[in-house]
Amino acid sequence: MTLLHTTTSNTTAQVAASVRDAVKHYGHDDTQVTALDHVDIDFEAGAFTAIMGPSGSGKSTLMHAMAGLDRLTSGSIVVGDVDVTSASEHELTRLRRDHLGFVFQAFNLVPTLTAIENITLPMDLAGRSPDRSWIDHVVATVGLSHRLRHRPSELSGGQQQRVAVARALAGRPSVIFADEPTGNLDSTTGSEILDFMRHAVRELGQTIVMVTHDPLAASYTNRVVFLADGRITGQLDQPTPDTVLDQMRRLGN
Amino acid sequence: MFRLTWKNLMASKIRFALTTFGVVLAVSFVVSAFVLGDGLRRSFTDVSKDITAGIDFEVRNTADFVKPPPLPPDVVDIVAGVPAVRHAVASIEAADNAVRPITATGDEIPTSGPPQLAFNWIDDPALSAFTIVDGAPPQAGEFTIDLDSAEKYDFVIGHTYDVMVPSGRVQLTLSGTSSFGPQNATLGAVLMQMNTAQASELFGVDGIDSVAVALHDGSDPAEAQAAIAAAVTASVPTAEVVDRETVAADFASQFTTQIDLVGAILLAFGVVALVVSVFLIHNTFAIVVGQRSRELALLRTVGADPRQIRRSVLGEALAVGIIASATGIVGGIGVAKGIDALFGVMGFDLVDWPLILAPRTIVAAVVLGIGVTLTAAIGPARRAATVSPMVLLSGTTSSSGRHVSRRRALTGAAFIATGAALAAGGAAVNGAFPVGVGAILLFAGVTMLSPMAVGPVTRVLGWPLGRVATVTGRMAQRNAARNPRRSASTSAALMIGLAVVAIAMIAAESVKASIGSTLADSAKAEYYLSDELDEVAFPAEVVGETLGLAGVDAATGFTPLEVRIDDTVTEVIGFDFDQIDALLDVDVRAGAFDSDVSSPVVVSAGEAARRGLVVGDTVTITSPAGITMATTVAGTFGDQSVLTEDYLVDTRVLQALGAPVAPEWLAISVADDARPVDVQHLLDTLESRFPYAALETAAQFEERVAGEIDDALTMVNMMVALAVAIALIGIANTLALSVFERTHELGLVRAVGMSRRQVRRMVRYEAGLLGSFGATVGVGLGIGIGIAAVHTFPSDVATQVAVPWDRLGLLIVIATTAAVVSAWFAARRAGRLDVLDAIAH
C-alpha cells in the first residue's frame, strides 16, 4: 500500500478521489463473490489514470463504487469533498450531476436530445446555466461545432463518443469516469477520442479515470493501476503499449 | 410455438389483465343487456298470460291516434247484448299519475319513480287483473291499493286518506289490498282501484277505455268475435274487437319497450367500451411486438418462418380474447344482477326473472371478445412477421410506427375535408344526416392524421411545461412525440370520449340558452302554472276562476288535442285567442289572433308555406270524437319555440270539435298596477288549490328545464366516464411499456444526474401531454361537430349555438390531470430503477 503513495509521480498533487479499505461482496454464503478485496488507492487531480485488469478483476466495480452507482460492503470512498459511502441517494444524484462526468462504452446519449442538449443535460438538470465560453471551448476542441443541432442517430459512433466526452467535460467535474470509452470504436476513431481525453487532462486540467483492457488505450494515460481478483497488483507511470503489455505478462494475466 | 405464446402471456400478467379489462367490460355490458332482457321478457310474458287468462276478447277504440279516444259507456251494454257473451265489463284507467294517494303523514309518493296508476275495480275474477288479498273490494267512497305499495307507504285498511285526482283532492277510505296477477308484478308502480262509478267520476276519463269480454262456455270464438264487432261498430265505427293473445302481447309490450330501452343503453355502453378497447389492444400488441423484435429476430434466425411468428402473436391475441369473453360472460351476469339491484334502489322493483343464457348471448360474447382482440392484433402481428433476422445482428430495433405513410396522410386529409364539408353543408341546410356522416368521417380522418399532429401539438401544449421544468418538460415532450403512432393511438380513445362529451355539452348548453332567449323574447305573462306530471290536465274552470281574481290582467289555459288534418294526424293546441296577446308573443306574421273570425285557426309560417295557406283559407279538422269541421285561417305566426304545434285554435274550436277543455298549463299575466296583496292572494289561491303543481315565473321555468336537461346529460356523462376510464388504462399501459423500453436511457440520465423525482416528473409530464393531446383534439373536434349538430336541431329545440368554453376547458384540465394520475405506477417504477442495472439493460 505504501508503495502506491510513495511512487506517485507528483506527491504534492491534490487528490481527486481516495479509496480506503474498500470491500465489495456479491451474493451470500456459498455463492459469495469478492469483487473488491481491501483496496486502497488515491487518484490525483489533473491526471489521466487507467484501471486495467481481466474480466472479473473488480475494475468496473471499483469505478461504479467511486461514482456512487454501487455501494461498498465496507470501506470508504471520498470524491472531491463528498464521502460517497455515506451519502444519501439524493446526495449521490447531486454528486453525479455537479462533480462527476461519465463516458460509457456505448449508448451514451439520450436519443431525443440534440448533441448540444445532451452536452448541457447535467447542468440543465441541476437548473444551472452553463458556462457558455467554456462549453464553446470544449465543443470547439472536440470539433463538433457544426453538428450541435443533430440528434445522436444522425451522428457517427465516433462523433457520439465525442459528444459524450464533451458532456462529461461541460460541467468541469472533479473526476470524469470513462468505462471502456473506445470499446465500440474502430482503432482510428478510438485514438482520436483518447487523444482528446489526454488533451482535456493536459490542457484543460481535468481528471479522468478510465477503465480499459486495451494496452494501447492505457498508453494514453499518466498512470496505469492493475487489478486482479479484487486486489491492486501493480501500477505503472508514464505507460507505453509495450510497458503495459510487459507488466500484464509479468502479473500473469 | 404455442408454448412460447403462452409463456409470453404469463410473463406479463398485469399487462395482460389491463389489456383484457376493456374487452371484459365491453362483453359484460353486451351480455348483461341480453341476459336481463331475456329474463325480464320471459317474466313479463308470463305475467301477461296470467292476467289475461280469463279474457276472451277486448273491445277498444282503434282510431289511429296515439292516445285512442275513450269509448262511450253504453258500449258495455251493446257488447253484453250479444248472445255468446257471458259477461262484459268496462275498464277505465286514469292517466299516469293523474290519481295519487297521499300518505298518512301527508306526503305525496315521489312521482320521479315508477308511475301511480288507478283502475276501476272489476268484480268478475275471470276478467280482472286484480285479486283482493286482504279486506274487501272498493265500494263508493273507498279504494284499494296493491299490497306492496300498502306496505311500503303504510296504508292501513279502514283508514281514510286524501287522494289527488284531476279535479282536485278527495277523501277515500282504504277497503282492502290487492294483487296484480299472482306475483303482484307492479315493478314498483302504485296500483289503485275504485269502483266503476267512482272511477268514471274521478279519473278524468270521458267514457271508458275498453270492454273486457268473457264468452259462455262452448260458444264459437270466431262467430262471437264477428257478432260483437258487428254490434259495436254499428254504434262506434272505429271500435275493434281483439283476442286474448293480442291483449296479452300489447300488455307485455308496454314493459318490453322499457326493457329494450335499458338493453339499448347497456349495448351502447358495450359499444363505447369496445371502440375504446380496440385502441388499447392494438397499442399494447404493437408495443410488445416492438419490444420483442430481437427475440423475434432470434426465432427467425433459428428457422421460424414469418407465418409462424404471425400465428404466435395472433395466438396470444386469441388467448386474450377467449379469456376476456369468458370473464365477460360471468361479468355480464353480475352486471345484470347489479342493474336489477340498482332499479330496486330507485324504486322499480323488478319481478323475479329467470337466468337465461341464450346461445345468441354466448355467440355474441365470443364473437365480440375474440373478434375485437384478433382484429386489433392483426396489424402488430403482420409487423412482427416482417421483423428481419438482421435486427439481431445490427442491434437496431424496428423503427416502424414512426411515420405516417403518404397514402394514409392523403386518405386522412380527404376524410377530414369531406367530413368538414358535409358537416358545414349539413349545418347550413339543417340536414342531420350529412352532419352525422361528416362527423364519422372527421373522427376517422383525425384518427388517421393525429400521428402527424402529435409532435407539433405536444410542442405547443408542452410550451408552458418547458417554462416551468426546462429539461424534464422538454424530454417529456420529445418522448411523447418520439413514436407518434403509439402516442396518437394511446390518446385516440380519450379523444373520442371527450369529443362525445363536448358535443353533448354544446347541444345541452345551446338548448338551455335557446330556451332562455326564447322566454325572454316571447314570454309576456308573469306566471306559469303547470303540473310537474306532464300528463295531468287542469280542470277547465280554473281559467275562469283565475281571471276573476283581483289584479289578474289576462289568463288562458293551453289544451293539446290530437286531430286529423288532410289525412295527417297532428297535434293542435287550443287557448283563448282574446287573451293571448297579453301573454305570449309568438311573432304573428300575417292576420291576428282574431276571435271574431268563425272557427279561427292560426298556422305556423312554415306550415302555411308548405301547404300554400293564406289568411282566409279553410282548413278541415277531424277530431277523435269523429267531428269534422271547417276552420278559417286567421293568421300565421313565426316563433314556434313555446307553442311548437303548427296549428293554434281558439278554445271554442276545441269545444266545437267535441274535445274537453283540459289545459296542461296556464299562463297568467298580472296587471301593471296590481297591488302586491292581490298578487299574493292569487299565488296563495292557486297554490292551495293545486299543491303539487308548479307556479313559476319565466325565469324559474327556464331554470327547471335547464335542470331537466342536465339530468338527461347524466347518462351521456356516465358513458363518457367509462370510455375515459378505459382510455386512462391505455395511457397507463403505454407508459409502463415505454418506461420498460427506455430502461437503458433512464439509467443513463440517472447516471449523469437526473434525480428520482425528476425521472418521475418526466414520466408524469409525458402522460399529461398524451392526455392533454387527446383531450384537446377531442374537445376541438367536439366543438366543431357540436356546433354543426346544433344547427340541425329543430327551431323549437334550439335557435342559437352556445359553447360552454369554461367547462370545456375544465374538461381538458380534468382529463390531463387524470392522465397524470394514471401514470403513477409507471412513474414510480421509472424512479426506482437501479442505475447500474438500467445501464446494463
What is the DSSP code string of B514-560? HHHHHHHHHB--SEEEEESSTTPPPPTHHHHHHHHSTTEEEEEEEEE
Say which range, A3-7, B585-589, B765-769, has the weakest mean pLDDT.
Answer: A3-7
Q: Which residues of B touch A93 (CB under 8 A)?
A: 750, 753-756
What's the rounded mean pLDDT across residues B494-518? 84
Spatial distance between the Cα atoms of B778 and B215, rounded to a whole number of angstroms: 65
Q: Do B748 and A108 touch (CB under 8 A)?
A: yes
Residue from B748, B752, B836 whose CB has the most chain A CBs within 10 Å, to mutate: B752
Do residues B51 and B194 lie in contact, with contact meaning Cβ atoms separated by under 8 Å? no
Taking CB atoms and an 8 Å cut-off, how many pairs form between chains A and B?
66
A69 part of contact set with chain B, CB < 8 Å: yes
In this prediction, residue B647 has a pLDDT band, given cuts at 50, 70 and 90, of very high
Residue from B403, B471, B482, B769 whose CB has the most chain A CBs within 10 Å, to mutate: B471
Per-residue pLDDT, B247 = 85
pLDDT in tens, B678-728: 888 888 888 877 766 778 887 887 787 778 777 777 777 777 787 788 888
Identity of the residue in B470, B756, B758 whose CB atom sits nearest the CB atom of A89: B756
Do residues A208 and A49 lie in contact, with contact meaning Cβ atoms separated by under 8 Å? yes
Say which range, A142-146, A244-248, B533-537, B548-552, has the weakest mean pLDDT.
Answer: B533-537
Do residues B185 and B46 lie in contact, with contact meaning Cβ atoms separated by under 8 Å? no
Q: Which residue of B has its CA nearest to A123?
A: B753
Per-residue pLDDT, A1 = 37
Pairing of strands A175-179, A208-212: parallel
Percent of chain B surpassing pLDDT 90: 18
Per-residue pLDDT, A5 = 40
Of B99, B213, B81, residue with least CA distance to B145: B99
Spatial distance between the Cα atoms of A96 and A81, rounded to a whole number of angstroms: 13
Q: Do A97 and B752 touch (CB under 8 A)?
A: yes
Q: Do B836 and A98 touch (CB under 8 A)?
A: no
pLDDT surpassing 50 at residue A10: no
What is the location of CATH 2.40.40.20 in chain B?
527-696
Q: Which residue of B has its CA nearest to A151?
A: B478
Q: How many structural domains does chain A have?
A: 1
Task: Please report whether residue A13 resides in a domain.
Answer: yes
Per-residue pLDDT, A4 = 41
pLDDT surpassing 60 at residue B219: yes
Per-residue pLDDT, B805 = 92
Cross-strand partners of B552: B670
Q: Which residue of A has its CA nearest to B754?
A: A125
Q: Which residues of A touch B470 (CB under 8 A)?
A: 124, 127
Q: Do A94 and B753 touch (CB under 8 A)?
A: yes
Per-residue pLDDT, B147 = 92
Spatial distance between the Cα atoms of A64 and A22, rounded to a whole number of angstroms: 12
Q: Which of residues B255 and A101 earns the better pLDDT score?
A: A101
Identity of the residue in A89, A98, A107 whose CB atom sits nearest the CB atom of B748: A107
Identity of the residue in B744, B752, B836 whose CB atom sits nearest the CB atom of A122: B752
pLDDT in tens, A18-35: 899 888 888 777 778 888
Identity of the residue in B482, B753, B835 whose CB atom sits nearest the CB atom of A125: B753
Per-residue pLDDT, B163 = 92
Q: Dump the DSSP string for chain A.
A: -HHHHHT-S-TTSPEEEEEEEEEEEES-GGG-EEEEEEEEEEEETT-EEEEE--TTSSHHHHHHHHTTSS--SEEEEEETTEEGGG--HHHHHHHHHHHEEEE-SS--S-TTS-HHHHHHHHHHHHTPPP-HHHHHHHHHHHT-GGGTTS-GGGS-HHHHHHHHHHHHHHT--SEEEEESTTTTS-HHHHHHHHHHHHHHHHTT---EEEEES-HHHHTTSSEEEEEETTEEEEEEES--HHHHHHHHHHTT-
What angle, 0 to 180 degrees and rounded to 10, lies between the N-to-C axes of helices B470-482 and B484-522?
100
Spatial distance between the Cα atoms of B152 and B159, rounded to a whole number of angstroms: 16
Q: Which residues of A touch B478 (CB under 8 A)?
A: 112-113
Task: Please report whether residue A86 resides in a domain.
Answer: yes
Say which range, B98-102, B288-292, B479-483, B530-534, has the weakest mean pLDDT.
Answer: B530-534
- DSSP tag of B166: T
A1 part of contact set with chain B, CB < 8 Å: no
Per-residue pLDDT, A6 = 37
A26 part of contact set with chain B, CB < 8 Å: no
Say which range, A51-55, A208-212, B334-338, B467-471, has the weakest mean pLDDT.
Answer: B467-471
Q: Which residues of A touch B835 (CB under 8 A)?
A: 69
In this prediction, residue B402 has a pLDDT band, given cuts at 50, 70 and 90, of low
Cα→Cα distances B556→B177, B574, B582, B603, Å: 41, 10, 10, 19
Identity of the residue in B471, B482, B751 whose CB atom sits nearest the CB atom of A96: B751
Q: Which residues of A touch B402 (CB under 8 A)?
A: none
pLDDT surpassing 50 at residue B400: no
Q: Which of residues A30 and B94 earns the better pLDDT score?
A: B94
Q: Which residues of B touch A116 (CB under 8 A)?
A: none
B755 part of contact set with chain A, CB < 8 Å: yes
What's the rounded mean pLDDT across residues B166-179? 90
Cα→Cα distances A210→A108, B176, B667, Å: 15, 100, 93
Q: Which residues of B touch A64 (CB under 8 A)?
A: 836
Give Cβ neighbours of residue B550 (< 8 Å, ≥ 6 apart): B674, B675, B678, B681, B682
Average pLDDT, chain B: 84
pLDDT surpassing 70 at residue B390: no
Give the CA dihedral B228, B233, B239, B242, nearest 10 degrees: 30
What's the rounded mean pLDDT across residues B774-801? 86
Cross-strand partners of A22: A39
Residue type, B814: I
pLDDT in tens, B545-577: 888 888 888 999 999 888 888 878 888 999 999
Per-residue pLDDT, B89 = 92
Per-residue pLDDT, B635 = 92
Give Cβ neighbours of residue B690 (< 8 Å, ≥ 6 apart): B529, B531, B538, B542
Per-residue pLDDT, B633 = 93
What's the rounded mean pLDDT across residues B48-70? 78
What's the rounded mean pLDDT across residues B512-523? 78
pLDDT in tens, B325-339: 999 999 999 988 888
pLDDT surpassing 70 at residue B287: yes
What's the rounded mean pLDDT across residues B8-26? 74
Q: Which of residues B41 and B630 earns the better pLDDT score?
A: B630
In this prediction, residue B398 has a pLDDT band, given cuts at 50, 70 and 90, of very low
Structural domain that includes position A229:
2-98+171-250
Per-residue pLDDT, A7 = 38
Say which range, B19-33, B54-68, B192-206, has the weakest mean pLDDT.
Answer: B54-68
Residue type, B80: A
Per-residue pLDDT, B137 = 93
Q: Do A125 and B744 touch (CB under 8 A)?
A: no
Q: Which residue of B has its CA nearest to A120?
A: B471
Q: What is the 3-state secondary structure (H, E, C) of B250-289?
A: HHHHHHHHHHHHHHHHHHHHHHHHHHHHHHHHHHHHHHHH
Q: Which residue of B has its CA nearest to A173?
A: B752
Per-residue pLDDT, A125 = 84
Q: Do A93 and B750 touch (CB under 8 A)?
A: yes
Say which range, A136-150, B69-83, B112-126, B521-535, has the weakest mean pLDDT.
Answer: B521-535
Alpha helices by DSSP H, B210-352: 221-235, 244-291, 293-301, 306-345
Spatial distance between the Cα atoms of B813 and B310, rounded to a whole number of angstroms: 41
Residues 136-175 of A with CB under 8 A from B: 167
pLDDT surpassing 60 at residue B368: yes
Phi-psi region of B316 (alpha: psi -120 to 50; beta: other; left: phi over 0): alpha
Task: Please report whether residue A180 resides in a domain.
Answer: yes
pLDDT surpassing 50 at residue B821: yes
Do residues B131 and B178 lie in contact, with contact meaning Cβ atoms separated by under 8 Å? yes
Report the topology of domain B527-696.
Answer: Barwin-like endoglucanases (2.40.40)
Spatial distance between the Cα atoms of B730 and B736, rounded to a whole number of angstroms: 10
Cα→Cα distances B206→B191, B211, B468, Å: 21, 15, 75
Phi-psi region of B592 (alpha: psi -120 to 50; beta: other; left: phi over 0): beta
Chain B nearest-CA distance from A120, in A, is 10
Say which range, A131-135, B171-175, B772-776, has the weakest mean pLDDT.
Answer: A131-135
Say which range, A155-164, B278-287, B315-324, B515-524, has the weakest mean pLDDT.
Answer: B515-524
B479 part of contact set with chain A, CB < 8 Å: yes
* CA-only gyration radius of chain B, Å: 34
In this prediction, residue A3 has a pLDDT band, given cuts at 50, 70 and 90, of very low
Spatial distance between the Cα atoms of B488 and B279, rounded to a whole number of angstroms: 10
Spatial distance between the Cα atoms of B782 and B399, rounded to a whole number of angstroms: 33
What's the rounded mean pLDDT across residues B313-323? 87
In this prediction, residue B458 has a pLDDT band, given cuts at 50, 70 and 90, of confident
B741 part of contact set with chain A, CB < 8 Å: no
Identity of the residue in A90, A98, A102 whose CB atom sits nearest the CB atom of B751: A102
Identity of the residue in A64, A110, A124 whose CB atom sits nearest the CB atom of B836: A64
pLDDT surpassing 70 at residue B792: yes
Chain A nearest-CA distance from B834, in A, is 9
pLDDT surpassing 80 at residue B214: yes
**CATH code of the domain in which A12 resides:** 3.40.50.300
- Tell me the three cell numbers of residue B54: 280469463
